[in-house]
Structure 1
Amino acid sequence: MCAPTGMPILWALASPKIGEREVLASMLQVEAGVVAGHDGILLISDKGFASQPFEKRLAEQGIELLRPSRKPERARHGEAILTKIRQLIESVNDIASFPTDDAHHADLWQWVAGFGQLAQAGVEGTGSYGYRLAQFLTGRGITVFEVN
């Protein structure tokens, strides 16, 4: 989750087996203060966040979702400018992929350090990777919480 400038506000490492909506819901639950401290949050996303129950939960937290319409839907409000906004945000943010073994935790650490000082991390605890990554992070003074 990023500010309009592209600066990450919330982020989590999660298994690709977990849906994007579930990861975001967990992040918003754990970091409820981030949402509570801002009025009129506009969350820009892709079609993967399409879900009436999910959008209702966001609205209850004061978050409006701007996403592309799915094929059976009418064009959604704000959709005309969505592509340009997403291209701008995605050009600011970096994307990285790391093997899920102990030998590459330092590579992940270096990449994350490029965004600034890390204080907390959410780790999805699938198998031993989540456990070993949590050990690595706590060994560097990072508060780790599990993201389900």
Structure 2
Amino acid sequence: MLEAETDLVSRRPGQTLIADKNYYGRAFEQELGQAGLSLLRPARKGEPPRAGSRLFRPLRQVIESINQTFKGRLDLERHGGRTPGGVIVRVLQRIFALTAAVWHNDRTGQPVLRSLTAYDH
């Protein structure tokens, strides 16, 4: 990812890279550190606890909730795109539509923010 987007780090210095426990190794972490990145990952078996480990359980719940919303509510597994660009456009338009619905529900005081029932025609 960093090789494909060479200016990604320089445009946003001091980023934290969140990864799973399989992204490990002194050389890997040194390389990230030299690029100006911090690595946040769970400890591997036999490793002492790492900084930020308390963040993973709630973060995982948020990620799983978002993924389930995308797959269930937005029908992303049946996107209908035939090319990578078509898939991207269809996925983004559904995400923007959900975002607009959540914003509208928030602004109008609806009891459930992620409900799309009123817009499901």
| TM-score bin, normalised by smaller chain | 0.5 to 0.7
CA drift at 1:64? 0.5
List alignment gaps of at least 5 residues for structure 2: 94-121
Residues 1:53 and 2:35 are matched in the alignment = no
Q: Where does the alignment leave 5 or more consecutive residues of structure 1 unmatched?
A: 1-26, 98-103, 117-148
What is the TM-score when the length of structure 2 is the normalising length? 0.57
Is the 1:44–1:86 Cα contact (8 Å) retained in structure 2? no
* In 2: Cα distance, 1:105 partner to 1:71 partner: 41
Which structure has the larger Rg over C-alpha atoms?
Answer: 2
1:71 aligns with 45
- Measured against aligned partners, the alpha-carbon deviations of 1:36-63 in whole angstroms (never above 9, x if no partner) come to 1112101111111122211111111111
CA distance in 1, matches of 2:55, 2:37: 19
SS in 1 for 2:12: coil
**TM alignment of 1:95-114, pairs within 5 A:** 106=82, 109-113=85-89, 114=91
Alignment RMSD: 2.8
User: Taking structure 1 as reference, are residues 91 and 107 closer, same or farther at Cα in structure 2, changes over 3 Å only?
Assistant: farther
Structure number with the higher helix fraction is: 2
Q: Which structure has more RCO (C-alpha within 8 Å, separation ≥ 6)?
A: 1
Structure 2 equivalent of residue 28 of structure 1: 2
TM-score by length of 1: 0.47
**1:36-51 counterparts in 2 under 5 A?**
36-51=10-25
**Larger strand proportion of the pair:** 1
Percent of aligned pairs with the same amino acid: 33
CA contact (8 A) 2:81 2:87 kept: no
